Amino acid sequence: MTLKTYNKIKLGIVVITTFIFSQFLVLRNFFIPIMVLGLSSFTLFYLRKKVIEVVADERDYQIGGKSALLAIQLTSWIGVIIMFILYALSNANPFYQPIAMTLAFSVCILMITYSFIFKYYSKHNPKDEKRD
């Protein structure tokens, strides 16, 4: 299988999975979305193994690293700003406070997870060993 075919199939699977997932969640059915998510992940994993071309190389990993860092920084800043706004408005509407708390904890968890993974890779770098 070529990379182009794989990407087309992947796009189709993602669209179908998202549609089924959202529709069944609206109907408050949680079993089918989990099954669909598991099945689509397994299918994508299987199809990726069938691709004969190089799916990602060192340049992609480098771009991926930079993009991930920027995405984390942007998400954190946006999260913090919205959190402060919601806290400031929580006097007017007390329902804003739990949302602000959730945002604050989400940002903290994101930063802590990033730091732990960064520290782990800076010592072990198992992905590089796997690629070689």
Partner 1 sequence: MKNEIKKNRIKFGITQEELAEKVGVRRETIVFLEQGKYNPSLKLALNIAKELKTPIDKLFSLS
Quick one: which of 1, 39, 60, 118 contacts partner 1 (CB under 8 A)? 60
User: Residue 86: which of 102, 105, 99 has the closest Cα?
Assistant: 99
1 binds partner 1 (CB under 8 A): no
CB of 125 to partner 1, least distance (A): 12
CB of 119 to partner 1, least distance (A): 22
Q: Name the one range near partner 1 by CB under 8 A: 22-30, 41-49, 51-59, 84-92.
A: 51-59
Which token pair is 83? 């959190």
53 binds partner 1 (CB under 8 A): yes
Question: Helix or strand or coil: residue 97?
Answer: helix
Between 39 and 56, CB nearer to partner 1? 56
Question: What count of Cα atoms within 13 Å lies in the side-chain half-sphere of residue 5?
Answer: 8
| DSSP labels, 33-65 | HHHHHHHHHHHHHHHHHH--S-S--HHHHHHHH
Task: Enumerate binding residues for partner 1 (CB under 8 A).
Answer: 53-54, 56-60, 132
